[in-house]
Amino acid sequence: MRFRDHVVVGDILELAQRYRDEGADELVFYDITASPEGRSVDRSWVRRVARVLDIPFCVAGGIRSVADAEAVLGEGAEKVSINSPALADPELITRLSERFGAQCVVVGIDSQTIDGTYQVYQYTGDPNRARNTARSTLDWVREVQERGAGEIVLNCMASDGVRRGYDIEQLAAVRKVCKVPLIASGGAGAPEHFLEVFRAANVDGALAASVFHSGSLPIPVLKQYLRDAAIEIRP
């Protein structure tokens, strides 16, 4: 598990403004401890974040019902991302999509290679509860699209947090069956990793956390690097 020992990255409002000013295209706020502990995100911060952000942002963690999603979207979030609750209740994807439209519904998938196949993990926010669902990742990717997901974030667990690059092979395999926007997650450590994932896995977006939080890779530097490599990206 790479989620152990979370680093407190500081006041999220300050962080949100920093990333806005640095040119992030979208922000995702994860409360990765929300699902395992059976509680929901504390939403008082969503409105404060929405007031300062002029880019889209997504809230992930602890959204288990249409009412949960409505509260978050009503506070100004653009999208909600569901992961463990979607595995527990796949019909939730459909209900959210019908109520808010597919564009609001992101499904996060934690996946790992086991015996040569990609398998879905649940409750990865808690090392003590994380479990292999024995679901095939590719089947789950197909199912969530049929159920109305408008975007998929694929977190390749073995790569996550180690900054040695995205899992290109797995992302490329998922890309083949993913007709909605696909966001790569897990493994970004250097500008080359971003370029590789856009070129070799043809993803629509690349998500990273630690490499930005630590300041080791400033977003403007990364974006200039990608533009120089002819990747179409907002300055």
Partner 1 sequence: MTRLAIIDSGGANIASLQFALDRLGIESVLTTDANVLRSATHVMLPGVGAAADCMARLREANLIDVIRSLSQPLLGICVGMQLLYESSEEGDVECLGLLPGRVRRLSCEGLPIPHMGWNQLELATSSPLFEDIQSGDYVYFVHSYCAPVSDATLAKCTYGETFSAVVQRGHVYGTQFHPERSGRIGSLILRNFLRIA
Determine the residue type at 83: N
Q: How far is the CB of 69 from partner 1 (least distance, A)?
A: 8
| Interaxial angle between packed helices 91-100 and 66-74, expressed in degrees from 0 to 180 and rounded to the nearest 10 | 40
Residue 108 binds partner 1, judged by CB under 8 A: no
Q: How far is the CB of 193 from partner 1 (least distance, A)?
A: 20
Beta strand pairing status for 131-136 and 151-156? unpaired
Q: How far is the CB of 165 from partner 1 (least distance, A)?
A: 23
Q: Which two tokens stand for residue 197?
A: 């994932």
Closer CB to partner 1, 18 or 131, in the complex? 18
Which position among 11, 14, 25, 37 is part of the footprint of partner 1 (CB under 8 A)?
A: 25
Closer CB to partner 1, 32 or 59, in the complex? 59
Which position among 3, 100, 118, 123 is part of the footprint of partner 1 (CB under 8 A)?
A: 100
Residue 56 binds partner 1, judged by CB under 8 A: yes
Residue 150 binds partner 1, judged by CB under 8 A: yes
Site for partner 1, residues 175 to 214, rule: CB under 8 A:
178-182, 204-205
Closer CB to partner 1, 60 or 182, in the complex? 182
Site for partner 1, residues 33 to 52, rule: CB under 8 A:
47, 50-51
Q: Which two tokens stand for residue 29?
A: 């706020």
Residue 132 binds partner 1, judged by CB under 8 A: no
- DSSP code string of the chain: ---SSPPP---HHHHHHHHHHHT-S-EEEE-TTTTTTT----THHHHHHHHH--S-EEEESS--SHHHHHHHHHTT-SEEEESHHHHH-THHHHHHHHHH-GGGEEEEEEEEEETTEEEEEE-TTSTTT-EEEEEEHHHHHHHHHHTT-SEEEEEETTTTTT-S---HHHHHHHHHH--S-EEEES---SHHHHHHHHHHS--SEEE-SHHHHTSSS-HHHHHHHHHHTT-----
* Binding segment (CB under 8 A) for partner 1, from list 11-19, 31-39, 114-122, 173-181: 173-181
Closer CB to partner 1, 55 or 190, in the complex? 55
* Binding segment (CB under 8 A) for partner 1, from list 33-41, 53-61, 161-169, 208-216: 53-61
Q: Which two tokens stand for residue 36?
A: 């395992």
- Binding mask 59-88 toward partner 1 (x if CB under 8 A, else -) reads ----------xx--xxxxxx----------
Distance from chain centroid for Cα 127: 19
* Footprint on this chain of partner 1 (rule: CB under 8 A): 20, 25, 47, 50-51, 54-56, 69-70, 73-78, 100-104, 150-151, 178-182, 204-205, 233-235
